Structure 1
Amino acid sequence: MNVNVVFHIDESAKWELVLRNASHLIQMVDTPDSDIRIVANSEAVRELVPQSAGSALPMMQKLAEQGVHFAACNNSLNSFGIRPQELVPFAEVVPAGVLELALRQREGYAYLKP
């Protein structure tokens, strides 16, 4: 089974939950034919900086290796004074998290916000 899913995270405290959800999803779907994305905006972008990710970093790295795409909202990065080059290497910067979410939903992605 293949699925296209975009997880939305905007609260730092929810990273562990989102990562667990994505991990469980990967175990249940045909990963090469699925597209799983995690879009971070607001305060949640801070955990995409390795020094701030804490215990979430190993799970983020593992998910990225399994094909999960991570995206950080540029507006939020600017708000928190984070430069794109400070992010984990597997995170892409998108102009606006809300726009990325809307575009993915328009493409038929399931929207999940734990």
Structure 2
Amino acid sequence: MKRNNIVKPTIGVVAATALFAAGLPGAAAAGSGDDFHGAAATKAQYGVIFQLDSGGNAAIKKTLNNIENILHDPRLAKKLKVELIANSHGFDVYVKNNGFEDKLRHLQQQGVILAQCNNTLKELKVSRNDLYPFISIVPSGMGEITIREAEGWAYIHPAAPNPNRL
């Protein structure tokens, strides 16, 4: 008897889930492989702010690669504004002679805004002269993120790669 009580709710949940999925636009396309090519970029303009708050080459490379990837997404061509905000130990990305100058200049030439949190510079006693001269300084990284999100920008905070994961 108890067995029937367990089976009936399970069948009901499965049936409800199937009915729900059947009513979702694109639910079938998402699982059909060849038919789905990603979301359509229907807006006239998109904005995304990337936050880098940790130093080290792995975190920096991952963040810069993520930015390059989004810049080369054909759906977003001529529709995308990108900003990289560095705060905390993320300032390492902008320190002179760190090996990233060419990459940063290339991103800036593609329209990427390169910004550094001034609070970080004060707190960590980093001189503006230690950074590449083409970097913009903003009063606060958190303020910059807050303003951009209020403007409708997406927020991306790539995590540093975990060397213990495959």
- For the superposition of Structure 1 and Structure 2, which TM-score range results when normalised by the shorter chain? 0.7 to 0.9
In the alignment, which of 41, 64, 77 is matched to residue 30 of structure 1?
A: 77
Matched residue, 1:96: 140
CA-atom RMSD, angstroms?
A: 1.5
Other structure's SS at 2:63 match: helix
How far apart are 1:81 and its partner, in Å? Answer: 1.9
Matched residue, 1:65: 109
Task: Tell which has more relative contact order, 1 or 2 (C-alpha 8 A, sep 6+).
Answer: 1
Other structure's SS at 1:12 match: coil
Unaligned runs of 5+ in 1: none
Matched residue, 2:162: none
Indicate the structure with greater helix content. 1
Matches within 5 A, 1:1-114: 1=41, 2-13=45-56, 14-28=59-73, 29-31=76-78, 33-51=79-97, 53-54=98-99, 56-114=100-158
How far apart are 1:87 and its partner, in Å? Answer: 2.0
How far apart are 1:83 and its partner, in Å? Answer: 2.4
Unaligned runs of 5+ in 2: 1-40, 159-166
Partner Cα separation in structure 1 for residue 136 and residue 149 of structure 2:
18
Partner Cα separation in structure 2 for residue 86 and residue 9 of structure 1:
18
User: TM-score normalised to the size of structure 2?
Assistant: 0.62
Conservation of the 8 A alpha-carbon contact between 1:69 and 1:90: no
Q: Percent identity?
A: 29
User: TM-score normalised to the size of structure 1?
Assistant: 0.88
Partner Cα separation in structure 2 for residue 88 and residue 3 of structure 1:
27
How far apart are 1:47 and its partner, in Å? Answer: 2.6
Conservation of the 8 A alpha-carbon contact between 2:50 and 2:155: yes
Q: Which runs of 4+ in 1 moved over 4 A?
A: none
Conservation of the 8 A alpha-carbon contact between 2:86 and 2:93: no
Other structure's SS at 1:67 match: coil
Indicate the structure with greater strand content. 1
